[in-house]
Structure 1
Amino acid sequence: MSKKKILVTGGAGFVGSHLCERLLQNPNYVVYSLDNYFTGSESNHITGVNYIKGSTVDIASLVDFTPDLVFHLGEYSRVEQSFDDIEKVWRFNKDGIFAVLEFVRQAGCKIVYAGSSTKFGDGGLGRSASPYAWTKATNTELVKNYGAWFNVPYAITYFYNVYGQREISTGKYATLVALFTEKMKQNETLTVVSPGTQRRNFTHIDDIIDGLVLVGEQGYGDEFGIGSDESFTILEVAELFGGKIEMLPERKGNRMTADVLSDKTKALGWSATRSLTDYINVLKKCDWEK
């Protein structure tokens, strides 16, 4: 039996590298990554994965084989920063999705698209709250339309505030749990954007990958949310870390809530099994409470 070729766009990024690592555990898969290394890193490379360097816009010329399945994770994925980076957001997310959908249409393969839970924020108002949110929300519509127009098989997933090993911990694109971890190591104040009552469903990377692989194998259609049922405010997360806290002014695009739509993913047999509180307690023992 010939092995299935699986392509992961953004395969050198935080979520993508973990997905590649998990897919490699299946002896029937050959795993490829396409990444432009905007936030991805060669330090995330997994032995056994075939790496292709380049933009999703150029996927048709860069990928010289026909995949059986494409996980499309390789897009711009920051809310507040997207106001300053709108040209990158457009190229990576809008030009990119068109090129990838045309590629999978020609290949005749399934696409698993990583949508953004921002579109469910604040009762649906979140979909237009930032350039990032809007591009991701409209991309999900285009994926669904390609399914209807051209019979492209698809599944759309939504991640909720992913944390875990290989998160970006410093600089403009750092994510919250990794940023707080780094600040605690350096004995620095934890900064919380006002009002601090923004509520998030922090989900461990291993739970995300469990859901992604399952949806890749069995899921078809929209609304495969992969998010923990447990939620915390940003201020509560800072308090879990136990450091000094400084409140920052409010910022554009920062939603207050987002509904977790995980019923379809749970129907496939998935559930979140890791806890943010447990994760932070382990970090405390290992990293800064020495």
Structure 2
Amino acid sequence: MRNYESRKRILVTGGAGFLGSHLIDRLLEQGHEVVCADNLFTGSKRNIEHLHGHPRFEFMRHDVTFPLYIEADEIFNLACPASPIHYQHDPVQTTKTSVHGAINMLGLAKRLRCRIFQASTSEVYGDPSVHPQTEGYWGNVNPIGIRSCYDEGKRCAETLFFDYHRQHGLDIKVARIFNTYGPRMHPNDGRVVSNFIVQALRNQPITIYGEGQQTRSFCYVDDLIEGFLRLMATEPGFTGPVNLGNPGEFTIRQLAEQVIELTGSSSKLEFHPLPSDDPTQRRPDIGIARDKLGWEPKVALREGLQKTIAYFDKLLS
């Protein structure tokens, strides 16, 4: 437990979401005070209900597209719908959340002269022509497609972070998050891991787009949060961006087959046309994370899936 002198007051936007709630758990374990700001569009009070009454935790219902006036020593900016179903529901609002949200949080960090973390995404690489993706790759993104509200919103947020860093000397940390899974994922977020697990537990057909040969790299949430904390603790001159994800690559079909096996499901595979702008390959080069953070994922896909399946089994029962 940290003493009062080393304790920080930390703002986490999007703190009631899947990643945000796990991050808050870790920050509280470290002895910090945490303010969770979330408008609960995709976040859920269920993810933070175990913190009700915690003396160092505070929940604030707030939309980051509006300014926030608060005192903090550090800011983690995680607020944004992150699954295609959710971010395509109101694409204009998604772009506003990424762009206006970044402006508002950067303005707050500038006023407070505090360090700020941006949860960016592997989607800044689009449908990559470079594999695996390094941080130096500029991406291959469709600026007018159905996913653009998220992809370009996050790209613009990165631009804002680096311009605030160059123009105002702001202490920034930027992480590019690759596919992450684990307990507290939204059951209806349309992401492949939650989709497959929910369908398998209900013995429904497993929905696969295309022939299921597109690849993804799946990082367990505990590993990712460890990467967040290590990046946030680096020296002021190191900004990132840093890829955080699991370099182990699996086809979507392999994932579906493993979920069926682990759930003991009678589900069959059902194939559908590939959606527009769906990336065919996604795999991080994590050389910078290994070198600068001493970080790499520890949890194997099978172990992480077992924990995630147990969570969804309890949630759906």
| Secondary structure in 1 matching 2:274 | coil
The answer for unaligned runs of 5 or more in structure 1 is none
Which residue of the other structure, out of 97, 122, 132, is the alignment partner of 1:92? 97
Structure 1, residues 198-222: CA drift from partner, whole Å, max 9, x if none?
2111000000111011111116312
Structure 1, residues 92-119: CA drift from partner, whole Å, max 9, x if none?
1122111111111111111110111012
Which residue of the other structure, out of 216, 222, 236, is the alignment partner of 2:240? 222
- State the alpha-carbon separation in 1 of the partners of residues 232 and 77 from structure 2: 11
- State the alpha-carbon separation in 2 of the partners of residues 93 and 284 from structure 1: 31
Give the structure 2 partner of residue 105 of structure 1. Answer: 110
Q: How far did residue 126 of structure 1 move?
A: 3.4
**8 Å Cα contact 1:56-1:100 kept in structure 2:** yes
- State the alpha-carbon separation in 2 of the partners of residues 285 and 2 from structure 1: 37
Structure 1, residues 140-188: CA drift from partner, whole Å, max 9, x if none?
1111111001101001001111110001112xx2422122111111111
Equivalent residue runs for 1:242-281 within 5 Å? 242=260, 243-267=267-291, 268-281=293-306
TM-score by length of 1: 0.90
**8 Å Cα contact 1:101-1:146 kept in structure 2:** yes
| Secondary structure in 1 matching 2:175 | strand
| RMSD, aligned CA | 2.1
- State the alpha-carbon separation in 1 of the partners of residues 279 and 16 from structure 2: 28
Q: How far did residue 284 of structure 1 move?
A: 6.7
* Percentage of pairs with the same residue: 26
Give the structure 2 partner of residue 19 of structure 1. Answer: 23
**8 Å Cα contact 1:110-1:154 kept in structure 2:** yes
**8 Å Cα contact 1:76-1:88 kept in structure 2:** no
The answer for unaligned runs of 5 or more in structure 2 is 130-138, 261-266
Q: How far did residue 277 of structure 1 move?
A: 2.3
Which letter maps to 1:168?
A: H
**8 Å Cα contact 1:76-1:93 kept in structure 2:** no
**8 Å Cα contact 2:83-2:190 kept in structure 1:** no
Change (3 A) 1:285 1:69: closer
| Secondary structure in 2 matching 1:143 | helix
Q: How far did residue 252 of structure 1 move?
A: 1.4
Report whether the alignment pairs 1:70 with 2:75.
yes
- State the alpha-carbon separation in 1 of the partners of residues 100 and 122 from structure 2: 21
**8 Å Cα contact 1:223-1:261 kept in structure 2:** no
**8 Å Cα contact 1:224-1:265 kept in structure 2:** yes
Which residue of the other structure, out of 6, 31, 40, is the alignment partner of 2:43? 40
- State the alpha-carbon separation in 1 of the partners of residues 19 and 308 from structure 2: 20
Which letter maps to 2:240?
A: D
**8 Å Cα contact 1:80-1:253 kept in structure 2:** no
- State the alpha-carbon separation in 1 of the partners of residues 196 and 253 from structure 2: 12
- Range with greater deviation from structure 2 (180-189 or 122-131): 122-131
- State the alpha-carbon separation in 1 of the partners of residues 177 and 228 from structure 2: 9
Change (3 A) 1:247 1:34: same
Equivalent residue runs for 1:44-55 within 5 Å? 44-45=47-48, 46-47=50-51, 48=54, 49-55=57-63
Q: How far did residue 3 of structure 1 move?
A: 2.3
**8 Å Cα contact 2:247-2:285 kept in structure 1:** no
Q: How far did residue 56 of structure 1 move?
A: 0.9
Question: Hey, which of these two has a bigger chunk of helix by percent?
Answer: 1
Give the structure 1 partner of residue 65 of structure 2. Answer: 57
Give the structure 1 partner of residue 135 of structure 2. Answer: none
- State the alpha-carbon separation in 1 of the partners of residues 30 and 142 from structure 2: 36
Q: How far did residue 84 of structure 1 move?
A: 4.6
Count residues with an aligned counterpart. Answer: 282
**8 Å Cα contact 2:181-2:308 kept in structure 1:** no
Give the structure 1 partner of residue 263 of structure 2. Answer: none
Give the structure 1 partner of residue 133 of structure 2. Answer: none
| Secondary structure in 2 matching 1:57 | coil
Q: How far did residue 82 of structure 1 move?
A: 3.8
Change (3 A) 1:152 1:116: same
Give the structure 1 partner of residue 264 of structure 2. Answer: none
